[in-house]
Amino acid sequence: MKRKVIIDCDPGIDDSLALILALNSPELDVVGITIVSGNVKAEQGAKNALKVLKLMKREDIKVYIGEEVPLVRELITAQDTHGEDGLGETNYKEADVEINYGGVDFILENARRGDISVIALGPLTNLAKAIGRDEEAFNMINEIVSMGGAFKSHGNCSQVAEFNYWVDPHGVKEVFEKSKVPFSMVGLDVTREIILTPNLIELIKQIGGEVAEFIVNITRFYVDFHWEQERTLGCVINDPLAVAYFIDRSICEGFTSYLDIVTEGIAIGQTLVDVGEFYRKEHNGLVLTKVDSKKFMKIFLERIFKDNKKDIEIVINNEKYGLI
Ligand code: BDR
Ligand code: CA
């Protein structure tokens, strides 16, 4: 049985990889893509989502622009990380498809219809607005899996804050406080372990095909950024882990907790995970802390080559990744 999902995102290099993974996953029925401002402004994000849909020959899926600014803070984008165009300055040709607006209403309409989940790969502004507009409908959503936040890991925007939650902490707070929907936080504790290494990128290039070429091209800028910023080789691909976890729960493990977020001051955007039960509040989320990165990579590789199977046995550092 396919599960119906809306992918709420801000593409974004790793968002684009997550979209490719979702579109090649038989377990998912992607009913629409909603866009929020984050890595780039929402309009650019929508253009990028459409480029991915064109590449994947899935232009039947509609893209809806949602909120263009965070609830309270001024928008701060991440074009230093993702490039001016959000796709590593590859400037792929725009798809000739109309962009829709009304992302928040699209989420609510689907919630009212029932049997829908949301995989959120950007700031939570669209979800926060949806809950503010119609809490009852919002709470009909089956599940939210959100890439964002950090528990023990250091941040990537400040010592303590992860980008998605730092961009719109008030949006996150609204969701944490009002939502009754089961919520999983796929934060930096687990996503930092998902690294597209130079070896893997070379492998993707060698296996080849249109999708592979796109991945190699858009990740180049991201790899350079990681080297400049952290002196690491390769790039951390956060967002596809949220999709993979949605499909296969055995990829990550964690615990439920009461979650809150800091909305001002030096620690703005820091996720508060009440692991010690100091606040004695009802648990409002599942925090993922362990990840089987090899299992993730196996799923990711198999699926990006779904339409270009070569039956090559992949072995990297004596680890078998199976037939691609
Ligand atoms: C998150 O921030 C964005 O830059 C990525 O797309 C990802 O969603 C990682 O902190
Ligand atoms: Ca993202």
Q: Which pLDDT belongs to residue 319? A: 76
Q: What is the pLDDT of residues 269-313, one digit of tens each?
A: 999 999 999 999 999 999 999 999 999 999 999 999 888 777 778
Q: What is the mean pLDDT of the chain?
A: 95
Distance from Cα 81 to the centre of ligand 2, integer Å = 11
Helix then strand count (H, E) for the chain reads 13, 15
Least confident among 18-27, 30-39, 260-269, 300-309: 300-309
Ligand 1 pocket, mutate which of 48, 226, 239, 271 (most atoms under 8 A from CB) = 239
Return the ligand number nearest the Cα of 238: 1
State which ligand 1 atom lies nearest to the alpha carbon of 9. Answer: 8
Q: What is the pLDDT of residue 125?
A: 98
Helix (H, G, I), strand (E, B) or coil at 218: helix
| Cβ of 146 less than 6 Å from ligand 1 | no
Ligand 1 centroid–CA 290 distance in Å is 19
pLDDT for res 314: 78
Q: Cis before residue 208, ω within 30 degrees of 0?
A: no
Q: What is the pLDDT of residue 219?
A: 97
Q: Are 126 and 164 in contact (CB under 8 A)?
A: no
Rounded percentage of the chain residues whose pLDDT exceeds 90: 90
Q: Are 271 and 259 within 8 A, CB to CB?
A: yes
What residues contact 149, with CB distance under 8 A and at least 6 apart?
162, 164, 165, 172, 185, 187, 188, 259, 261, 271, 287
- Nearest ligand 1 atom to the CA of 15 is 6
Cβ(12) – ligand 1 distance below 6 Å? yes
pLDDT tens, 90-116?
Answer: 989 998 898 899 999 999 999 999 999
8 A C-beta contact, residue 144 and residue 118: yes
**Is 245 close to ligand 1, i.e. is its CB under 6 Å away?**
no
- Whole-angstrom CA distances from 120 to 8, 38, 182, 243, 292 are 5, 12, 13, 9, 21
CB of 15 closer than 6 angstroms to any ligand 1 atom: yes
- Ligand 2 centroid to Cα of residue 45, in Å, is 10
Mean pLDDT confidence for 51-69: 97
Q: What is the 3-state secondary structure (H, E, C) of 246-310?
A: HHCHHHEEEEEECEEECCCCCCCCEEEECCCCCCCCCCCEEEEEEECHHHHHHHHHHHHCCCCCC
Residue 39 Cβ inside 6 Å of ligand 1? The answer reads yes
Q: 275-286, pLDDT tens digit by residue?
A: 999 999 999 999
Question: CB of 8 closer than 6 A to ligand 1?
Answer: no
